[in-house]
């Protein structure tokens, strides 16, 4: 499968599951030769054009949005190291994507229940190994708690502080999540409904449908997702 084989419904699903602020997000295409390309997309039509042009083996977008997203690098171990000032001054905000690397039903329900106490705009995506729980209104929540009054260079640290707080809350409740990726303000995630290894393995499920997908064989889920 490639993007030239996408039907109209495939493109509709991809477009409606893209987050806000596309212009400020970093897109990362990986070729079959494992070569990474960082790009910007003005809007969905521009992204569609580039997916058709490059036919990436896998396609990602950033949870963060920044004034010049392609210049934002993966976070280095030394948070105050080279490039820190530039990255901080162009950082605008970031969504929270909680990563669960299993299909454990109780774990999934508990994580969703905790997040539901604080956030309203939650989307659930089935991945190859588990789930992405995407908090679309996380940065608004962070902003409403006081980051408007902070200097631009402090935005990322403030966002990261709240990510760590929520991750700790979830883990302390006995839940299993991938903490390292969840708290990362500069992470990229696979674009929902995009192609990976010739299959569309990340697709949205509604909250009321989630139990159908728990504890199932991923291969069966993936086959259903391709035709969805």
Distance CA 56, CA 17 (A): 19
- Residues 63-105 have pLDDT tens digits of 999 988 888 877 655 555 555 555 555 788 999 999 999 888 8
Give ∠ CA 63-36-94 in degrees, rounded to 5: 10
Asked whether the beta carbons of 175 and 110 are under 8 A apart, the reply is: yes
Query: For 46-60, 87-101, 149-163, 170-184, which range has the lowest pLDDT when averaged over its residues?
Result: 149-163
Domains and CATH numbers, the chain: 3-226 (3.90.920.10)
Whole-angstrom distance, CA of residue 203 vs CA of residue 124: 8
* Among 9, 127, 1, CA closest to 60: 127
Confidence of residue 226 (pLDDT cuts 50, 70, 90): very low
Average of pLDDT values for 22-47?
94
Q: How far is the C-alpha of 190 from the C-alpha of 28, rounded, in Å?
A: 9
Question: Does the reported pTM lie above 0.75?
Answer: yes
| Residue linked to tokens 């030239």 | 4
User: 96 or 143, which is more confident?
Assistant: 96
Task: Give the model's confidence band at 14: pLDDT under 50 very low, under 70 low, under 90 confident, else very high.
Answer: very high
Q: Residue 64 in contact with residue 73, Cβ under 8 Å? A: no
């Amino acid at each position: 499968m490639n993007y030239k084989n996408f039907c109209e419904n495939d493109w509709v699903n991809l477009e409606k599951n893209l987050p806000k602020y596309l212009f400020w997000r970093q897109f990362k295409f990986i070729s079959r030769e494992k070569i990474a390309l960082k790009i910007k997309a003005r809007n969905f039509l521009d992204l569609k054009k580039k997916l058709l042009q490059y036919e990436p083996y896998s396609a990602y977008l950033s949870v963060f949005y920044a004034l010049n997203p392609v210049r934002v690098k993966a976070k280095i171990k030394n948070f105050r190291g080279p490039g820190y000032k530039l990255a901080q001054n162009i950082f605008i905000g970031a969504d929270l994507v909680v990563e669960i690397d299993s299909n454990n039903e109780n774990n999934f329900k508990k994580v969703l229940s905790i997040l539901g106490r604080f956030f309203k705009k939650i989307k659930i995506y089935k991945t190859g190994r588990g789930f992405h729980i995407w908090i679309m209104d996380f940065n608004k929540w962070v902003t409403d708690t006081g980051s408007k009054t902070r200097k631009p260079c402090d935005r990322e640290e403030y966002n990261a502080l709240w990510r760590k707080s929520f991750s700790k809350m979830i883990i302390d409740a006995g839940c299993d999540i991938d903490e390292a990726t969840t708290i990362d303000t500069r992470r990229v995630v696979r674009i929902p409904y995009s192609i990976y290894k010739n299959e569309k393995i990340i697709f949205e499920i509604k909250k009321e449908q989630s139990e159908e997908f728990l504890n199932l064989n991923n291969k069966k889920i993936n086959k259903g997702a391709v035709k969805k």
